[in-house]
Amino acid sequence: MATTQERNQRNHRLHDAAPTAVTVPAPRTHGDTIPATTAGPVRYVWAAARIAIGWVFLWAFLDKLFGWGLATPAAKAWTNGGSPTAGFLKGTADHTLGGLFTTLAGQPWVDWLFMTGLAGIATALILGIGMRIAATTGGLLLLTMWAAELPLTTNPIIDEHIIYAIVLIGLTLTGAGTTLGLGTQWTATPLVRRYPILK
């Protein structure tokens, strides 16, 4: 007959051998995003960065469209027959890729592509919608402008174009469109549910 001590030892062994419950997260379905880790005041910082960079794109569009005199004189406004790309691209003639970019200066299709890009990226960032496409197209535009200015005169590698491109990636990864923006409502639309790339 087992003693009390033997019974207690046997019970401890059985208890130690018993499987413990493990919580396994549900698998994500295609198109689901990883929840943003930002919370509290940090999300407002990202939202402010989103709106501020959106304004940078919007101002560039409006100034080149109407020639409000800060970067674009009224006589060179797009509405007055000027080219929104000619000034910048012709100024790259002495740069590494100047031969390529000067041939694009002032071409109508380049002007339309540039201005449409500025307006679309600005709208997406300010409203907090279509952040994936805004970050991708905005990043490509910024990298193109960075390449046009090589070699840089103030820093061998990094300038504001690279910084803005990195911030655009951060805005998308942190879900910055849902704070002070329409990102949540946009994501819930049938169009975006069907095509998650539009988030």
Query: Does residue 26 lie within any of the structural domains?
Result: no
Whole-number Å distance between alpha carbons of 130 and 191: 11
Query: Does residue 25 lie within any of the structural domains?
Result: no
Q: What angle do CA 196, 197, 199 make, to 5 degrees?
A: 70
Conformational region of residue 84, where left means phi above 0, alpha means psi within -120 to 50, and beta covers everything else:
alpha
- Look at residue 10 in the predicted model and tell me its pLDDT: 58
- Look at residue 46 in the predicted model and tell me its pLDDT: 96
- Look at residue 25 in the predicted model and tell me its pLDDT: 46
Q: What residue numbers bound the domain in which 187 lies?
A: 40-198
Burial class (CB in 10 A: 0-12, 13-18, 19+), 107: middle
- Cβ atoms of 137 and 123 closer than 8 Å: no
- Look at residue 98 in the predicted model and tell me its pLDDT: 87
pTM above 0.85, yes or no: no
- Look at residue 66 in the predicted model and tell me its pLDDT: 96
pLDDT at 54 > cutoff 90 = yes
Whole-number Å distance between alpha carbons of 50 and 95: 31
Whole-number Å distance between alpha carbons of 9 and 32: 49
Query: Does residue 31 lie within any of the structural domains?
Result: no
pLDDT at 164 > cutoff 70 = yes
Query: Does residue 103 lie within any of the structural domains?
Result: yes
Residues 63-103: pLDDT tens digits? Answer: 999 999 888 999 999 999 999 999 999 999 889 998 999 99
Query: Does residue 167 lie within any of the structural domains?
Result: yes
Q: Considering its fold, how many domains does the chain have in total? A: 1
- Cβ atoms of 110 and 103 closer than 8 Å: no
Query: Which of 80, 168, 75, 78 has its CA nearest to residue 121?
Result: 168
